[in-house]
Amino acid sequence: MSPYAAPVRDVRFVLEEMLEYGSFALPGFEETSPDLVEAVLEEAARLAGEVWAPLNASGDRQGCQLKDGQVRVPDGFVEAYRAYAQGGWNGIGVSEALGGQGLPEVVASAVQEMLHGANMALGLCPMLTASAIEALAHHGSDEQKTLYLPKLVEGTWTGTMNLTEPQAGSDLSKVRTRAVPGEDGTYRLFGQKIYITWGEHDAAENIIHLVLARTPDAPEGNKGISLFLVPKYLVNEPLVNADGSLGERNDVICASLEHKLGIHGSPTCTLSFGEGEGAIGYLVGEEGRGLNHMFTMMNEARHKVGIQGIGVAERACQHAFAYALDRVQGRSPRSGRSDCTISDHLDVRRMLLSMRARTDAMRALALYCAAQLDVARHGTSEDDRKTAQAKVDVLIPVVKAFSTDQAVEIASLGIQVHGGMGYIEETGAAQLLRDARIAPIYEGTNGIQALDLAGRKLQRDGGAALATLIDEVEGTARALLATTELAPLGEGLAAGAADLTAALAILLEQGSDPERGVDAVQAYATPFLSLAGHVLCAWQMGRAALAATAAQQAGSSDPFYAAKRQSADYAIRQWLPVGRAQRAVIESGTASLAAFQPSA
Amino acid sequence: MSPYAAPVRDVRFVLEEMLEYGSFALPGFEETSPDLVEAVLEEAARLAGEVWAPLNASGDRQGCQLKDGQVRVPDGFVEAYRAYAQGGWNGIGVSEALGGQGLPEVVASAVQEMLHGANMALGLCPMLTASAIEALAHHGSDEQKTLYLPKLVEGTWTGTMNLTEPQAGSDLSKVRTRAVPGEDGTYRLFGQKIYITWGEHDAAENIIHLVLARTPDAPEGNKGISLFLVPKYLVNEPLVNADGSLGERNDVICASLEHKLGIHGSPTCTLSFGEGEGAIGYLVGEEGRGLNHMFTMMNEARHKVGIQGIGVAERACQHAFAYALDRVQGRSPRSGRSDCTISDHLDVRRMLLSMRARTDAMRALALYCAAQLDVARHGTSEDDRKTAQAKVDVLIPVVKAFSTDQAVEIASLGIQVHGGMGYIEETGAAQLLRDARIAPIYEGTNGIQALDLAGRKLQRDGGAALATLIDEVEGTARALLATTELAPLGEGLAAGAADLTAALAILLEQGSDPERGVDAVQAYATPFLSLAGHVLCAWQMGRAALAATAAQQAGSSDPFYAAKRQSADYAIRQWLPVGRAQRAVIESGTASLAAFQPSA
């Protein structure tokens, strides 16, 4: 596999020239200087490229091993994880109050992309820990925070999320794991959880499981579910005994590892709670509010999955470019040379530019969303924070679903660029497709994301937050139209905005119909999310074109800006039209899906 | 994995109600009665469903083993292949003059789809043999035909195509394997061929390799390449010695097996010719015309790869439908039941209907193409034959590339329907994606198909053959518009035809420009093929809607017809619009691709 060079320049372009350091100006980030951020990005790129990336292919080949309840992750993963934790990377996005470094979300997100691009399977470990930190920070008691957060933030311990059971996947109201209260205020948990990412491994001293379970006599459905903290090793003060040991081993074991299409370096576990006397668990937050507590952090976890898709897409780009610039085949239509590299064939260039443009666009949108997250948390006025949060709520399902669907397509295109070599596992292109394919499924399938957007998010505010974003898209279109060179991009973008506005009107009108509203939301959800994703990504590339042109007009002859303009041109003129077709899909109505009987 | 039921009813609908037994009326097919064809399809379905399909997952898991130059295919594959050969299936599409059964290509294609749907890895073995038969039938000497064809047609021996070398993939002019003439008229071959499908195995008594190689002093490039026949075991009269042995082992060995993303049950070999004194080979056809001879059969081989994509797509459909109708999750938006199957959620129905509609459409187009192949060979007048061949030439790159690209998307959607289960290998959905992913690459990448269509095929007749097809599309649109119920489909189809006509005009005008023509063809090729594929598939579904409606109007209440109409509705109103967007892509011009410098 070709070496991985984390996209520092591309990230800096977004942070500096498109977002104009917006997050850094917020209260709480006074010490976040551009120089500091540059140093952070460079150092993260080094860790990603030199330490994590070289283990990506070997980790895939070797996979994880389960023996006597112990999971061994692939060779080198333990050391690579420790290098990450010891470098302080686990806490970069965590607030200083919790022991983190409190860098803006835009910076943390950029670093996450680099790590996932280098090694997605390994990246999942801290990604799950981050969710556990988030859940505890929001809903844990002071004692729980004191006991667990410092080690989780420094990465000495890792965290997991235990939601899914065989009969309870997208519908978590069906969770059956039982939590029986004891007299000391603790609970005993009994049940089986599946698909637990990094549920058991040898890279950390302890694993803190957050588990959805049902208390006795709890009502059926969502309201009977509570959230529990179940450590692999029980923890007391002092956290570590004088002899270096932790507390007793809890009654939770890894019963099996899944044999998956990809992310072989990430142990996906079936965890059995309470095969003996019950796993000791501690209630987090309020009884019966487990699902709500879980959803608090779901938004950010979904953003991270979108980022993960972008990381793999970037990796696929780099791999395909490296091959296409090296592989000699065929006669160049331009130079007539019979020994050109395949990058000289326009059909191959089309694939490369398509991969690059889409990756650029998705990154810009995900970082824009991260910047809005920063404002939502640190904005100076409540108004600012609310507006930003409303945008975030709309953007996150798009970032998650659109980026991961696109990442699968981009990884598949990466295989195609390699021709026959792409189908051979040693080349590495196939692994990227296999790895990427999970992202549209976990953390809420992309169908669930689309329903979240088209149903809950858009219906509850009558589309107001999305309309604000569309206004901004139109503003960018006007700015493009006001230039000489970029006017065609302005036309395309304006047309995309009009399509999205029209589709939104249909969705809101039909979606609010008391009788047929549910059908409308369900039928339009996925096409609508796709349309929104294309338009919002194209918008970002319109902004990229303006920023790149400004730099050129200021005298820069850096070919980077010309490349960004080509990316933007492709995104708006060749990629956006495909997304715009979803308006026609929505206009075709709900009847054919509603009438369709799959059993016939 | 759910059981596989070959789509007999769907195939019969196309043959009987859409193609109206057209092929059967041709001279030479007097004995092909509908009853006979029905019996053939039922029997093929039994072989596919009961013998081949049960080995698909186990073959994937076990893969092929190379030991001491011998390749062992997965358990059961040898017996399943022999059941196929002994059942006479290998010769069903081969003319009676060559020892086959001489059934029409529409029937042979339908059977191929069933076998690939059941077990694509195993299906590759006879697929390659068919190409070898084709090459020998067209270009072999009488002696070669007598010696090799009977055993190949009956399937006792299998055939391979040896084209690719490490430096010669899409560009075969770079072939370096040497063929040194001896004094006895034979040649000695030296060189290495890669990616040789079923290049070595234990399922047949002998393997007949067809090999591209270069004679000494041959000119550089295409014209120096000749085609050679290299048997694994040398063959003389009598073919089999009194003791049952064949002739001597030739100097060709399997040096290694590729470790691939999918089709693990199909041995993909590196073959070394002439590690000793040289592999004995026999010139096939004329010296220096090897590539031409190869391309004779390429068209049909490409059609077969398209069919293969359709087979896997059908399998993915069935697997996804079975899961969606069984998996209980969530509350039904219609019935309010909290234990509905996921097939009751419209977003899941959307995925299922999308898979089904696209598969139906691609099958109808591929069988339409096969019917034109029948006319091209057996038509009563030369005019008929020429017109049909011209259509075939245009259709084949579309069937190959479009069906295989779509098959990858359909298999990926099949994973998505399964949610988390889809990512677990035991479920079987992931294998279908892994298997399907090769089809856009081999037998000419889909980029090469697009160039073949947009360049050679359309430029040489000024788009005349495609224009004839577009006329037929418009005829179907008019027929739909003339009805009450199907008029919206007529509108959609007419708009698609108009887009294709407009895109064709651009392609022809810019493609014939002496300076910029090559750029235009290369830049537009893939979007154009996608547009053509969508419009032609939608056309077939327009015809399906008319046929299904006719059956209903004739009194049938079979839900099959209602399902076909839903498929057609989806294909034209929700799928075609996405394809139509490619017109805008083409209208955006060639400049951005031509200016793009991947090295920047």
| pLDDT score at A2 | 86
Q: Look at chain A and count its residues.
A: 600
The answer to the question of residue A477 being in a domain is: yes
The answer to the question of residue A38 being in a domain is: no
Beta carbons of B416 and A441 less than 8 Å apart: yes
The answer to the question of residue A471 being in a domain is: yes
| pLDDT score at A574 | 97
To which residue do tokens 């589309």 refer?
A: A463
To which residue do tokens 């590196």 refer?
A: B270
Q: How far apart are CA A478 and CA A461, in angstroms?
A: 26
Window 50-69 of A: residues touching B by CB (8 A cutoff) are none
| pLDDT score at B592 | 85
Structure tokens at A357: 């443009």
Residue type, A464: A
Q: How far apart are CA B114 and CA A419, in angstroms?
A: 27
Q: For chain B, which residues score pLDDT lower than 50?
A: none
- Per the structure, the complete domain to which residue B342 belongs is given by 293-592
Q: How far apart are CA B299 and CA B389, in angstroms?
A: 11
Window 3-42 of A: residues touching B by CB (8 A cutoff) are none
Which residues, 6 or more positions from A574, have their beta carbon under 8 angstroms from its beta carbon? A354, B527, B585, B588, B592
In a 3-state reduction of DSSP, which class is residue A402? helix
| pLDDT score at B209 | 98
Residue type, B389: Q
| pLDDT score at B332 | 83
Beta carbons of B581 and A578 less than 8 Å apart: yes
Distances (CA, A) of B542 to A597, B309, B454, B475, B478: 20, 22, 25, 10, 10
The answer to the question of residue A226 being in a domain is: no
Measured over the CA atoms of residue B10, residue B11, residue B16 and residue B22, the dihedral's sign is positive
Structure tokens at B149: 């064809």
Beta carbons of B349 and A171 less than 8 Å apart: no
How close, in Å, is residue B197 to chain A by CA atoms? 12
Cis peptide before A238 (omega within 30 of 0): yes
Window 415-444 of A: residues touching B by CB (8 A cutoff) are 415-416, 419-420, 422-426, 430, 433-434, 437-438, 440-442
| pLDDT score at A477 | 98
Tell me which residue of B268, B78, B333, B473 sits closest to A423, measured CA to CA: B268
Mutation pick from A60, A338, A346, A417 vs chain B, by most beta carbons of B within 10 Å, is A346
Helical ranges in B325-381 per DSSP H? 346-378
A-chain residues within 8 Å CB-CB of B333? 518-519, 522
The answer to the question of residue B100 being in a domain is: no
The answer to the question of residue B452 being in a domain is: yes
DSSP one-letter string for B194-250? EEEET-S-SSSSEEEEEEEEE-TTPPSSGGGEEEEEEESB---SSSS-TTS--SPBP
Q: What is the dihedral of CA A560, A564, A566, A571, to 10 degrees?
A: 160
Which helix (H) or strand (E) segment is B404 a member of? helix B382-417
Out of B330, B451, B573, closest to residue A347 by CB:
B451
| pLDDT score at A558 | 97
Beta carbons of B599 and A560 less than 8 Å apart: no
Specify whether the CB–CB gap between B403 and B366 falls below 8 A.
yes
Q: Look at chain B and count its residues.
A: 600
Q: For chain A, which residues score pLDDT lower than 50?
A: none
In a 3-state reduction of DSSP, which class is residue A259? coil
Specify whether the CB–CB gap between A582 and A500 falls below 8 A.
no
Angle between helices B105-118 and B290-324 (to 10 degrees): 60
Residue type, A575: W
Residue B577: CATH number of its domain: 1.20.140.10
Beta carbons of A559 and B526 less than 8 Å apart: no
Beta carbons of B169 and A441 less than 8 Å apart: no
Q: How far apart are CA B511 and CA B25, in angstroms?
A: 40
| pLDDT score at B100 | 96
pLDDT, one tens digit per residue, over A168-187 is 999 999 999 999 999 999 99
Report the Cα–Cα distance between both ends of chain A, in Å, rounded: 47
Cis peptide before B238 (omega within 30 of 0): yes
To which residue do tokens 């901004």 refer?
A: A472
Q: How far apart are CA A360 and CA A354, in angstroms?
A: 10
Q: How far apart are CA B286 and CA B44, in angstroms?
A: 38
Total count of domains within chain B? 1
| pLDDT score at A297 | 80
| pLDDT score at A239 | 72
Mutation pick from A175, A334, A350, A552 vs chain B, by most beta carbons of B within 10 Å, is A350
Residue B71 sits at the chain A interface (C-beta within 8 Å): no
Tell me which residue of B503, B542, B516, B480 sits closest to B595, measured CA to CA: B516
Assign 3-state DSSP to chain A and report helix, strand, coil percentages, each to 5: 60, 10, 30
Distances (CA, A) of A28 to A90, A111, A283, B253: 19, 20, 32, 69
DSSP one-letter string for B32-68? --HHHHHHHHHHHHHIIIIIIGGGHHHHHHH--EEET
Out of B346, B433, B593, closest to residue A593 by CB:
B346
Q: How far apart are CA B267 and CA A421, in angstroms?
A: 16
* ipTM tops the 0.90 cut: yes
Give the CA count within 13 Å in the CB-facing half-sphere of B405: 22
Residue B333 sits at the chain A interface (C-beta within 8 Å): yes
As a three-state string, the secondary structure of A424-481 is EHHHCHHHHHHHHCCCCCCCCCHHHHHHHHHHHHHHHCCCHHHHHHHHHHHHHHHHHH
Residue B167 sits at the chain A interface (C-beta within 8 Å): yes
Count Cβ–Cβ pairs < 8 Å, chain A vs chain B.
Answer: 247
| pLDDT score at A21 | 86
The answer to the question of residue A475 being in a domain is: yes
Q: Label residues B38-47 b or e (16+ Cβ within 10 Å = b).
A: eebbeebbeb
The answer to the question of residue B64 being in a domain is: no
B-chain residues within 8 Å CB-CB of A425? 259-261
Q: How far apart are CA B453 and CA B449, in angstroms?
A: 6
